């Protein structure tokens, strides 16, 4: 068994990998032979390695037990993986990048694609070490099992994240004399009993004193699979909740205690209730820019802040917590609930005073040209037509804001926008990985035309591999959110417009189905048709470019 075969067998044996995403080059071409012979892993060869890294992120985004895998040749191919590795690092996604590397005997001589850091070549080991939890170089075939074991465990340990393995050209076909099955030792970060009791006692005290309590749900709750625990806390103790943009849709937005999104584009009712909240329980969030009104310094003044996060570096990073807990969200909530049930005694939950005159954005009328399709109606149409278990992906741009404000997600509909790193095109490509991990669910990408133009050629990848994703393109021919930023700051803008192709003809030239819509009804009809086709589909939604998403504070 050679190193390539050992890597593939290890990935198979984890039971966490059904698809891998990558491209080839001189240094890593032989790995494709080992992947070809696997009957458990499907290999998706992409048009650009950057897309492979985004797809690997998508593969584990809604499936926390999955290991996302991307691969590339050394040098330029490896460097194209950086954006996706950075997304995984920022958004706590367990992925492994496997790339080529110069053979030991030619390092420093300037061989093709060399990135050893010697003789004025870039140093990929330092670069990946700075963008992942850990980077490795395999120097002997006998090391591969130990390295892969450590790498995969590291990816899932504590706060999940990406890892990277360099496989030098001469090592790819080296024999593995000591192959063994690796051992996974993945454990949740559990709450300390005393800490859980302190949280429980403070929340019970707040209920007893009839304080305004607010639950702030972050993306860490998704990674931990804490839905059942959150709903028990909400329902048993009548606690209103808001979500960050990253956690939108994890809990049903038609729940009577749902106040919508909190933050820069937050719903009015969410912002109003937050203002009067006495106690905020923040679970699995890191107080990102959009969730803090651009890091508003006094945001939590005169409030008791209780913060739960799996990563100790996130606690007190932005706002000092009155109570803090380092734990997996599910473990923490389970321990707190158990303690609360013991402590509550005769304390009775009360109905919170939620304003009825200020609604969510989705309930408000559009303001714009009635002869043009409002981007809010694109978002409304998507959530209205999508099945109850659909996954909707927003990319980076104004369309992400429209989707977060105007989709109403119910049942098990799920949504994800790019996180704090937030590269354009990440989810335009990442949706392919999402679909590979969730073949029984409808996957829809809400993509800005700027994002789609960066990476839309991966439509060919979807067609070639029969991966039925639906792309809805918000077509306004401009960088709308940056235009608004410039107008707010300088009352003028520059270089915001660009040309779009005929997306219908583009889709058809790739072997996919293309549709063009100019109003909500046309879009709903197109979405229904696309879902029924169960093939890759591009829907060109021509929207009004003279309207902007709602902002609670100027960007």
First to last CA, the chain: 56
Q: Is 311 left (phi over 0), alpha (psi -120 to 50) or beta?
A: beta
One domain for residues 319 and 424: no
One domain for residues 209 and 89: no
One domain for residues 493 and 535: yes
Taking residues 109-129, report their average pLDDT.
Answer: 92
- Per-residue pLDDT at 357 exceeds 90: no
Residue 359 placed within a domain: no
- Per-residue pLDDT at 92 exceeds 70: yes
Q: Which CATH number characterizes residue 478's domain? A: 3.40.50.970
One domain for residues 398 and 333: no
Q: Cα–Cα distances in Å, from 414 out to 62, 300, 451?
A: 9, 29, 21
One domain for residues 162 and 245: no
Residue 330 placed within a domain: yes
How many structural domains does the chain have?
3
- pLDDT grade for 356, boundaries at 50, 70 and 90: confident
Q: CA 404, CA 248: separation in Å to the nearest integer?
A: 7
- pLDDT, one tens digit per residue, over 370-412 is 889 999 999 999 999 999 999 999 999 899 999 999 999 998 9
One domain for residues 425 and 516: yes
Residue 350 placed within a domain: no
Q: Which residues contact 151 (CB under 8 A, 6 or more apart)?
A: 96, 134, 136, 163, 164, 165
**Residues linked to residue 394 through DSSP beta bridges, in sequence order:** 446
- Per-residue pLDDT at 494 exceeds 60: yes
Domain range for residue 322? 193-343
Residue 550 placed within a domain: no
- pLDDT, one tens digit per residue, over 244-295 is 999 999 999 999 999 999 998 899 999 999 999 999 999 999 999 988 988 9
- pLDDT, one tens digit per residue, over 201-211 is 999 999 999 99
pLDDT at 358: 65
One domain for residues 261 and 391: no
Whole-number percent of the chain with pLDDT over 90: 83
Residue 495 placed within a domain: yes
One domain for residues 377 and 523: yes
Domain-terminating residue out of 298, 313, 343: 343
One domain for residues 380 and 338: no
pLDDT at 112: 84
Q: Which CATH number characterizes residue 250's domain? A: 3.40.50.1220
- Average pLDDT across the chain, whole number: 94
- Per-residue pLDDT at 553 exceeds 60: no
pLDDT at 554: 45
pLDDT at 229: 98
Residue 356 placed within a domain: no
Residue 482 placed within a domain: yes
Residue 433 placed within a domain: yes
One domain for residues 317 and 286: yes
- pLDDT, one tens digit per residue, over 126-169 is 999 999 999 999 999 999 999 999 999 999 999 999 999 999 99
How do the residues of the chain divide into helix, strand and coil, expressed in percent and rounded to 5? Answer: 40, 15, 45
One domain for residues 147 and 246: no
- Contact status, residue 528 vs residue 537, Cβ threshold 8 Å: no
pLDDT at 555: 45
Task: Classify 542 as helix, strand or coil.
Answer: strand
Taking residues 508-516, report their average pLDDT.
Answer: 98
State pTM to two decimals: 0.95
- Per-residue pLDDT at 527 exceeds 80: yes
Closest to 263 (Cα-Cα) out of 385, 404, 149, 378: 404
Q: CA 245, CA 243: separation in Å to the nearest integer?
A: 6
- Per-residue pLDDT at 490 exceeds 60: yes
One domain for residues 323 and 430: no
């Amino acid at each position: 068994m050679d190193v390539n075969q050992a890597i593939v067998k290890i990935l198979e044996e984890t039971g966490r990998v059904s698809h891998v995403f990558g491209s080839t080059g001189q240094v890593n071409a032989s790995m494709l032979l080992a992947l070809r012979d696997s009957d458990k892993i499907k290999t998706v060869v992409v048009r650009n390695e950057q897309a492979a890294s985004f797809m690997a992120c998508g593969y584990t985004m809604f499936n926390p037990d999955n290991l996302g895998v991307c691969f590339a040749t050394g040098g330029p191919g490896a460097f194209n993986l950086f954006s996706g590795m950075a997304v995984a690092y920022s958004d706590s996604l367990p992925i492994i990048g496997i790339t080529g590397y110069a053979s030991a005997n030619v390092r420093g001589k300037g061989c093709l694609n060399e990135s050893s850091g010697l003789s004025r070549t870039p140093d990929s080991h330092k670069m990946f070490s700075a963008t992942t939890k850990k980077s490795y170089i395999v120097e002997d075939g006998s090391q591969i099992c130990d390295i892969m074991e450590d790498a995969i465990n590291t990816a899932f340990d504590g706060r999940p994240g990406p890892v990277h393995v360099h496989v030098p050209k001469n090592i790819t076909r080296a024999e593995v004399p000591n192959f063994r099955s690796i051992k996974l030792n993945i454990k949740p970060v559990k709450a300390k009993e005393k800490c859980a009791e302190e949280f429980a006692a403070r929340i019970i005290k707040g209920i007893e004193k009839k304080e305004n309590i607010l639950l702030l749900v972050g993306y860490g709750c998704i990674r931990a699979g804490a839905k059942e625990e959150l709903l028990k806390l909400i329902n048993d103790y009548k606690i209103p909740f808001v979500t960050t943009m990253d956690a939108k849709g994890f809990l049903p937005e038609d729940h009577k205690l749902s106040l919508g999104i909190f933050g820069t584009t937050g719903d009015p009712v969410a912002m109003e209730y937050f203002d009067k909240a006495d106690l905020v329980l923040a679970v699995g969030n890191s107080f990102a820019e959009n969730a803090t009104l651009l890091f508003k310094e006094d945001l939590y003044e005169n409030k008791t802040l209780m913060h739960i996060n799996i990563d100790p570096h996130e606690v007190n990073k932005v706002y000092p917590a009155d109570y803090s807990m380092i734990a997996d969200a599910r473990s923490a909530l389970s321990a707190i609930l158990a303690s609360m049930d013991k402590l509550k005694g005769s304390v009775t939950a009360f109905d919170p005073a939620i304003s009825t005159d200020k609604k969510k954005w989705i309930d408000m009328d559009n303001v714009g040209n009635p002869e043009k399709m409002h981007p809010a109606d694109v978002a409304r149409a998507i959530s209205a037509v999508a099945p109850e278990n659909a996954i909707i992906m927003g990319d980076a741009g104004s369309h992400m804001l429209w989707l977060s404000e105007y989709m109403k997600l119910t049942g098990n509909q799920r949504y994800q926008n790019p996180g704090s790193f937030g590269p354009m095109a990440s989810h335009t490509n990442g949706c392919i990985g999402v679909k590979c991990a969730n073949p029984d669910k409808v996957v829809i990408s809400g993509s800005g035309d700027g994002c789609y133009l960066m990476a839309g050629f991966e439509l060919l990848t979807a067609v070639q591999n029969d991966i039925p994703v639906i792309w809805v393109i918000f077509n306004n021919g401009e960088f709308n959110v940056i235009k608004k930023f410039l107008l707010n700051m300088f009352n003028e803008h520059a270089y915001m417009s660009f040309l779009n192709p005929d997306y219908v003809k583009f889709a058809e030239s790739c072997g996919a189905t293309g549709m063009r819509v100019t109003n909500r009804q046309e879009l709903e009809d197109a979405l229904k048709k696309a879902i029924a086709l169960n093939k890759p589909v591009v829907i060109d939604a021509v929207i009004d470019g003279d309207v902007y998403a709602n902002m609670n504070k100027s960007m």
